[in-house]
Amino acid sequence: MTPEPAPTLSQLLAFYLEAGVDCALSEEPVDRLSDSRPTEALKAASVAGEAIAARMLRSAPAPVAPASDPLPAPDAAIATAREAARTASSLEILREMLEKFDGCALKSTATRLVFADGNPNARIMFVGEAPGRDEDIEGLPFVGRSGKLLDRMIAAIGLDRTKVYIANVIPWRPPGNRTPTPQETQICLPFIQRQIELVDPEILVTLGNPSTQTLLSTREGIMKTRGRWLNYDTGTRVIRAMATFHPAYLLRSPSYKRLSWQDLRAISKALAHITS
């Protein structure tokens, strides 16, 4: 059988990109082939021939990343998250808890925690889905292209990041920006719920479908939910909530900016009403 030709560098990069690998995880490359397995196998080959080496290669454990504590079962992780979040008496403590929390696999692939940006005393809070690549690098939500659009949307109603609070349902970047699994969302949910409770805004704005469906407990799509006043119940208080399009969606479908402007105007009006 003729061996397949080795892939060219550009083919390899295209393959990585398609698989969702769009940034390096560390500064230095890791030589996964330098573990003891092939060396032992080679030694065996010289002593006892290829057959033994082949058997060793087959039976030896595959090379794996350095051992770390196994993740707890999802139900246990959700229960731990609930318990931890419930006892967080301030946003700082909640952030520390998240830094220490090991129940969500996304933490191990993300560069850092993306907790929040803006003013913790703001009267309005925006919640997106999960950090992307730029947010993962900077440790702040909505700093990439869609973040720039969010800044412009906020500016359009006379606000900026000193007057709003911004967070995500998931505080770690999913690898390759894949959609978070329902389990990952459920594990992170108690933390964002507590974050909303601690910020205690007058108005909560959910950005896009995933954040809306998760926080406002609806199965309806964003086309139906956007622009309507809904209730977000913290358990101790009901907060007025509105869903609107995610800025990343608006970048792809600019014709919906008109509707998002309507939502922003309704939000601005409600804010003015609450102030007076």
103 in contact with ligand URA (CB under 6 A): no
Q: Which residues pair with 167 in a beta bridge?
A: 127
The distance of closest approach from Cβ of residue 139 to ligand URA in the complex, given in angstroms and rounded to an integer, is 11
174 in contact with ligand URA (CB under 6 A): no
User: How far, CA to CA in Å, does 188 sit from each of 11, 48, 75, 80, 216?
Assistant: 37, 53, 12, 11, 15
130 in contact with ligand URA (CB under 6 A): yes
The distance of closest approach from Cβ of residue 132 to ligand URA in the complex, given in angstroms and rounded to an integer, is 4
Structure tokens at 127: 């919640």
Q: What is the DSSP letter of 225?
A: H
Q: Which is nearer to ligand URA, 93 or 137 (CB)?
A: 137
Residues 6+ apart with CB under 8 A from 72: 80, 102, 103
Read off the amino acid at residue 81.
A
Rg of the chain on CA atoms, in Å: 24
171 in contact with ligand URA (CB under 6 A): no
Number of residues forming the site for ligand URA (CB under 6 A): 13
Structure tokens at 128: 């997106």
141 in contact with ligand URA (CB under 6 A): yes
85 in contact with ligand URA (CB under 6 A): no
Of 101, 142, 165, 232, the residue at the interface with ligand URA (CB under 6 A) is 142
Q: Given the rule CB under 6 A, which residues bind ligand URA?
A: 128-132, 135, 141-142, 144, 146-147, 168, 248
